Amino acid sequence: MKKILQFTIGLALIFAITLLGCNEIENEKDEDVKTTTLTINNQSFTTMKNVVWNSTSFSQGFIMGSIDSPLDISSGRNDKKEVSPGSGYVFFDIPLNPFNNRKLRTNKILNISAGENKEFILIDSTVVIDTGNSSDTPSPLSRFK
């Protein structure tokens, strides 16, 4: 009887260790899956409108009491999105007046690898190109103040 009890306890221990080991393997697999994100951080003098990188649109969302559209990223704000790995320019508009925007893009391509969490910070000295002007040359964003 004693041997049967020892055998049963041993079998239960082996079963429990096996279950715990499988759960640990699953947890390791979950940790290996990392998201790829891009944060657009607007530290410039102006509001960014219609911000797009590699087919992903960014916005700060609706802020109570804000006069900006939900598709805007106001100065001093940011927006973080899960993105697919890839490369591309950051495209955005800046307001000229309440009815017109100037369409711009970054001068440099932004590359994001799988599992990377990248931040793009727009400042007044960020070099941009006016996409509405085919003869435009790269220059700092501050020229549009």
Residues 58 and 10 in one domain: no
Task: State which residues of the chain have pLDDT below 50.
Answer: 64-65
Residues 80 and 14 in one domain: no
Residues 42 and 27 in one domain: no
Give me the pLDDT at residue 4, please. 61
Q: What is the pTM of this model?
A: 0.73
Q: Which single residue is written with the structure tokens 């899956």?
A: 33
What is the rounded distance in angstroms from the CA atom of residue 28 to the CA atom of residue 77? 35
Residues 14 and 53 in one domain: no
Give me the pLDDT at residue 59, please. 78
Structural domain containing residue 5: 1-33
Residues 14 and 54 in one domain: no
Number of separate domains in the chain: 2
Residues 2 and 64 in one domain: no
Give me the pLDDT at residue 19, please. 57
Give me the pLDDT at residue 6, please. 58
Residues 56 and 122 in one domain: yes
Give me the pLDDT at residue 38, please. 98
Would you say 129 and 108 are in contact if contact means Cβ atoms under 8 Å apart?
A: no
What is the rounded distance in angstroms from the CA atom of residue 106 to the CA atom of residue 90? 5
Give me the pLDDT at residue 87, please. 98
Q: Which single residue is written with the structure tokens 């657009």?
A: 40
Residues 117 and 72 in one domain: yes
Question: 24 Cβ partners below 8 Å, 6+ apart?
Answer: none
